[in-house]
Amino acid sequence: MRNNTKEADGKGFPLRITAVEVRVVDNPDATNVGQREIDFVKNMLPVLDWPALVQAASQLGIPTLPPQLTEQLAQDPAFLQALYHILMNVHLVKGMLTCPASGREFPVTDGIVNMMLEEEECERVRV
């Protein structure tokens, strides 16, 4: 799920998700999410690109994220709990990530995304 934060080597973000199989790990009890988890999500908020996350979630079959992240939501424990669940428990098992800029595809199988690049595809470095 945090695949949405992955960038196709500077060439493009966000990656478009084509989901074939998604696994949602049961969230047996929302109160299970403790302060440590809430703090973690708060810490992640500045890292997340919200529109990209909303798009990624809907591509994974979760259309419920609000389009805008308001100050108020960012303080709301119930919202943060739900967000934690989406970030941590929704896994793309099988599918494809596609770079919006180049169309380069990164297949996902068994929950592992293949991002192997050829030397020619990599960022140039002066030695």
Which residues make up the interface to other proteins (CB under 8 A)? 1-3, 5-10, 13, 23, 25, 32, 34-37, 39-40, 43-44, 47, 49, 88, 91, 110-117, 119-123, 125, 127
Could you tell me the smallest distance in angstroms from the CB atom of residue 60 to other proteins?
14
Is-contact 98 104, C-beta < 8 A? yes
Q: For residues 72 and 83, which CB has a smaller minimum distance to other proteins in the complex?
A: 83
Is-contact 122 52, C-beta < 8 A? no
Could you tell me the smallest distance in angstroms from the CB atom of residue 65 to other proteins?
19
Could you tell me the smallest distance in angstroms from the CB atom of residue 30 to other proteins?
14
As a whole number of angstroms, the distance between CA 17 and CA 60 comes to: 7
Q: Give the other-Cβ count within 10 Å of 116's Cβ.
A: 7
Q: For residues 72 and 119, which CB has a smaller minimum distance to other proteins in the complex?
A: 119
**Cβ neighbours of residue 65 under 8 Å, at least 6 residues apart?**
53, 54, 57, 58, 83, 86
Could you tell me the smallest distance in angstroms from the CB atom of residue 46 to other proteins?
8
Q: For residues 26 and 72, which CB has a smaller minimum distance to other proteins in the complex?
A: 26
Q: For residues 32 and 75, which CB has a smaller minimum distance to other proteins in the complex?
A: 32
Residue 38: enclosing H or E segment and its boundaries?
helix 35-44
